[in-house]
Structure 1
Amino acid sequence: MRISCVLTAAFSLLSIGQGVLGVPGPSPGPNLVGRQTRTTPLLAVFPGQDTLPTLADIINLNATNGTFLPLQNIQGDIFVGMKKQLETFYFFHINDATSFKTALKSYVPTITSTATLLSPASSQPLAFVNIAFSSSGLKELGITDNLGDQQFSSGMYADATNLGDSLSNWKSTYAGTDIHGVFLMGTDQTSYITSYLSDIESTFGSSITQLDRIDAAARPGSEAGHEHFGFLDGISNPAISGFSMNVLPGQAIVPPGIILIGRPGDATIRPPWTLDGTFMAFRRLQQKVPEFNKWTLDNAIQNEAKTLTVQQGADYLSARMFGRWKSGAPTDLSPEVDDPTLGADPQRNNNFDFSHLGSLLISDQSKCPFSAHIRKTNPRADLGDLNTINHAIRAGTPYGPEVSSSESSSNTTTQDRGLAFVEYQSNIGNGFRFQQINWANTANFPPLKTVTPGIEPIVGQGSPRTAEGLDPANQSKGYTIPQFVIPTGGEYFFMPSISALTSKIAA
């Protein structure tokens, strides 16, 4: 009876525009009226990923276990960002703070909440829009509060060398603190992005200047959900207490405060208005796909039966570098051959922790190298599954064209492509930064192994770029690995709650 009453009350509030559990909800912005009808869901579910909960599911969960996450007040990309088909990043500089605040106040009803993206398709907008601000952007708006995050306050440019980046590779747009904010737009049709960009430019006018724009999209056909090297992405994000309805086998469970400011699990004292906001680490990661393909062919490995072709040996090597086959099947469960059925099954593709009966966790790399991407960035049993504080939610989208025939034949990248990488956490030092510096870039991580694992071969930065364990027949063999992922810019942003946009940012 209690659940039924809560559900009825919540949906009644939503239907009159008050939002879930009384939090003010969005309505069409001034330039979007009449274009808010949709017949299919805005977001997609790619192979290997779990389905999204419905809004009714979450309300039911809140009523059952007493948790409370005001989804109508939480910007939508945070929890469901891996489901985007098209995404545009519009980076801007604020020219006139007063005019910008006036425009923002009128535009806030267009900012899309998590609740809206979980609502029935007919209640969803044609595209979602979120907004986030850099530290310099908040200062430009007169907000000097200490948000309790040193990396955010300094900005990513000041942190780039600590991350292992070469600043000579950074685009000039990101060098410094000129970027004040970013609009994130996601949808399933390019024309909708065009319309929403027009709305933004019409609403904000000369109060802002576009500094950069990245148009990203899921790759075509069967490659949808895969990044440019060809590997299925978005499989191993953690489950969030109070949001995730069906925790998948092997999935980490973290309290909401690991992602959202001011919620259980966030131990840092913050200004009250930052509640339900999050820090967004953005990275523009260029991928050298033809060079990666050539290197794996040149260094192709063999299985125990010595039956692989050179291409199969290259695929085998690249799978061990990632810790997954391109289908998403983990090498820890399918060490010698790809298993697309396993990769596409969210009930099985994450159900492992690198430990196996009869093998030694400190020395056995036969199934997954210590240096593999998924092991370095989510060490599981290597840390006794105790690293909850270092989890974050990844929500990147590929940008740039498919590899051309001329690039493939010359083994040389001539067109810019890569990943518009996004990661959300309540503490950058515990989330993205810790994963990059302490895990990916650190040769002796995971710790207490009988050999030095080496640098993470995909996103690891720094030198020497060496790793061991990639060849299961010779696990002590060292590889010198070229840099196939090159950071070319980035910034740390704060993504506030929707109510904070009006009560603080635009005030």
Structure 2
Amino acid sequence: MKTPSFYTLFGLGLCAQIAAAIGVEDSSSLERRADDILIDPAAIPSLPSLDKASAAAASNGLNLSNIQGDLLIGMRKNKEQFVFFSISNPLIFKKQFKKNVLPLITTTTQILNPPRRPKASLNIAFSSRGLVKLGIADNLNDTAFTAGMRNQAELGLLGDPLPLTDPGRWKPEFSGSTIDGVLIIASDTDTNMGGCRDAISKLFANCAKQVYSLSGAARPGNQAGHEHFGYADGISNPAIQGFDTASKGQPPFPGQAVVPPGEILLGNTGDRNTRPDWTKDGSFLAFRQLKQLVPEFNQFVNANPLPVKGLTKQQQSDLFGARMVGRWKSGAPVFLSPRVDNATLGADPMLNNDFNYALNGAAQADPTDQSRCPFSAHIRKTRPRADLNGSDPNSNHHIVRAGIPYGPEVTAAEARTSKSTKDRGLAFVSYQSNLLAGFQFIQRIWANNPNFVHPGTGFDPIIGANSSQPRQVKGLDLTNPNRTVTITTDFVVSEGGEYFFSPSMAALSSSRFSA
């Protein structure tokens, strides 16, 4: 007797022996998703085809079938759920994982092959605490991962207001003592994701339990690919050598940084640390639940129009917001369109990233000129480009951002009162081979450093954190770049997070994770 409901839940991602066990003979005849797992916003560089990625991988020694599917694809999921769990019985967990869950883990090869994309994509990652639970005592050579995100936050390294236990700060589930791992489920509907979660929960019922979950979704209509403040997101992810491109220095899209695979994947060319062999093709995952106060942000932007001649008051306010971010809402960079938005530019990935903050072919940006883009702008703080030269050790800090918005659209009542009553924000995810050199460096040394890019620049006005103190920012006012703008409200509020390790398929198949 056929049981298509379980197969349909995971679609073509099931391996042959699982399909045979439940009596499905012809997977091509199964009902498909109504929509795709992935979105494809015009502003974001497109994924390589499977053929191109496979050729690039072959020339660089990568095995895309050994890499979990979420690590390299960036911010393009349709819907996504993060299910954080604790392990109560490691041996039973390993047995259930090997028998019933491992065959469902989605690889990069599957993600790049649309006909073979499962109905619900599934990835898994483990905290340092979770690895210890499973009996893995190896040193992965990343002190931030070993310590955990909460420890790093409590040491003041992330700028989060302390103590974390105060109301409105970190959620108790991110205490650092309960989460052993996270399941990352992506699909086109909440029903598909929920079915996947429920099926796995039953499998793990006697060995693990859910601690917390967070569901996100691409925003509706033409806002797909935009975060809740309204700005196109994910444009500046790097091109990975061996995935997006075969060779160093030849980005598929102008302005993309081309990075060796080892900056994202452990054990590959460019990984600057010594690792256990089994960690190869895995990656460290930084997760942050970032609440966004959208009505309050909009009120602040509208209250600070820049007195630029020839612009309407709304255009003057829009310019102020764009200079905070470094891009207009369309995705057009203010460096290339310094006074008004250019939607055509913003939607063209061959143009919207083709700049480096330097003029006339100079190798380095003018350290006195903020007319085109403030030094403090969010995208300039987090990717300084020609503000740093290639020999500067601070220039090589790349991550693949793979998050997704969560929560509803702003209601009419919220917009009218400029007060948030609904919970919304960004489920921030980044992948990197070194947390200290990746997410944590960008947050601490760049975004939260008021003297970066230059002395007196101020904090990143979007994600910069000053331990609940007001943030001073310069350069936002095009008419007076030396004017200091004081931001008293954190429009992005960290509600917690954790560091994880996403193992390769070979590692997941080994006795470390399977029994």
| Shared fold per TM-score greater than 0.5 | yes
Question: 1:389: how far off?
Answer: 2.9
CA deviation vs aligned residue, 1:75-126 (integer Å, no higher than 9, x gap): 010111312010000011111111111111121010000000011x222210
- Provide the secondary structure at the position in 2 that maps to 1:424: strand
Alignment counterpart, residue 339 of structure 1, candidates 324, 338, 342: 342
* Residue of structure 1 equivalent to 2:107: 113
In structure 2, what is the Cα distance between the partners aligned to 1:90 and 1:33?
Answer: 29
Alignment counterpart, residue 81 of structure 1, candidates 71, 74, 81: 74
* Residue of structure 2 equivalent to 1:151: 144
* Residue of structure 2 equivalent to 1:271: 276
8 Å Cα contact 1:71-1:114 kept in structure 2: yes
Alignment counterpart, residue 157 of structure 2, candidates 127, 142, 162: 162
In structure 2, what is the Cα distance between the partners aligned to 1:276 and 1:25?
Answer: 22
2:508 pairs with 1:505: no
In structure 1, what is the Cα distance between the partners aligned to 2:23 and 2:329?
Answer: 42
User: 434-443 or 40-49, which moves further after superposition?
Assistant: 40-49
- Provide the secondary structure at the position in 2 that maps to 1:83: coil
Question: 1:417: how far off?
Answer: 0.4
Residues 32/187 of structure 1: CA separation in 2 closer, same or farther (3 Å cut): farther
CA deviation vs aligned residue, 1:330-372 (integer Å, no higher than 9, x gap): 0000000100110000000000011113996111000100000
Q: Which amino acid aligns with 2:137?
A: T
8 Å Cα contact 1:97-1:140 kept in structure 2: yes
In structure 2, what is the Cα distance between the partners aligned to 1:388 and 1:208?
Answer: 42
* Residue of structure 2 equivalent to 1:191: 191
Map 1:299-310 to 2 at 5 A.
299-303=304-308, 306-310=309-313
* Residue of structure 1 equivalent to 2:241: 241
Map 1:2-401 to 2 at 5 A.
38=32, 41-63=36-58, 66-106=59-99, 107-119=101-113, 121-160=114-153, 161-166=156-161, 167=164, 168=166, 169-245=169-245, 247-303=252-308, 306-357=309-360, 361-386=366-391, 387=394, 389-401=396-408
> Structure 1 runs of 4+ off > 6 angstroms?
30-33
Q: Which amino acid aligns with 2:463?
A: V
CA deviation vs aligned residue, 1:368-416 (integer Å, no higher than 9, x gap): 0000000000000001245553111001100001111111111111111
In structure 2, what is the Cα distance between the partners aligned to 1:433 and 1:33?
Answer: 48
Q: Which amino acid aligns with 1:308?
A: L
Residues 376/122 of structure 1: CA separation in 2 closer, same or farther (3 Å cut): same
Residues 62/417 of structure 1: CA separation in 2 closer, same or farther (3 Å cut): closer
8 Å Cα contact 1:46-1:225 kept in structure 2: yes
8 Å Cα contact 2:176-2:498 kept in structure 1: no
Alignment counterpart, residue 408 of structure 1, candidates 404, 415, 420: 415
In structure 1, what is the Cα distance between the partners aligned to 2:18 and 2:77?
Answer: 22
Question: 1:41: how far off?
Answer: 4.5
In structure 2, what is the Cα distance between the partners aligned to 1:201 and 1:28?
Answer: 21
User: 274-283 or 27-36, which moves further after superposition?
Assistant: 27-36
Residues 28/123 of structure 1: CA separation in 2 closer, same or farther (3 Å cut): farther
In structure 2, what is the Cα distance between the partners aligned to 1:223 and 1:140?
Answer: 41
Q: Which amino acid aligns with 1:148?
A: N
In structure 2, what is the Cα distance between the partners aligned to 1:461 and 1:32?
Answer: 52
Root mean square deviation, CA, Å = 2.0
- Provide the secondary structure at the position in 1 that maps to 2:206: helix
* Residue of structure 1 equivalent to 2:6: none
CA deviation vs aligned residue, 1:213-235 (integer Å, no higher than 9, x gap): 11100000111100000000010
CA deviation vs aligned residue, 1:239-278 (integer Å, no higher than 9, x gap): 1111114621111111000000000001211111111100
Map 1:415-430 to 2 at 5 A.
415-430=422-437
Question: 1:162: how far off?
Answer: 1.3
- Provide the secondary structure at the position in 1 that maps to 2:75: helix
In structure 2, what is the Cα distance between the partners aligned to 1:130 and 1:101?
Answer: 16
Question: 1:67: how far off?
Answer: 1.4
In structure 1, what is the Cα distance between the partners aligned to 2:347 and 2:390?
Answer: 24
Question: 1:302: how far off?
Answer: 2.6
Residues 266/32 of structure 1: CA separation in 2 closer, same or farther (3 Å cut): farther
User: 188-197 or 254-263, which moves further after superposition?
Assistant: 188-197
* Residue of structure 2 equivalent to 1:4: none
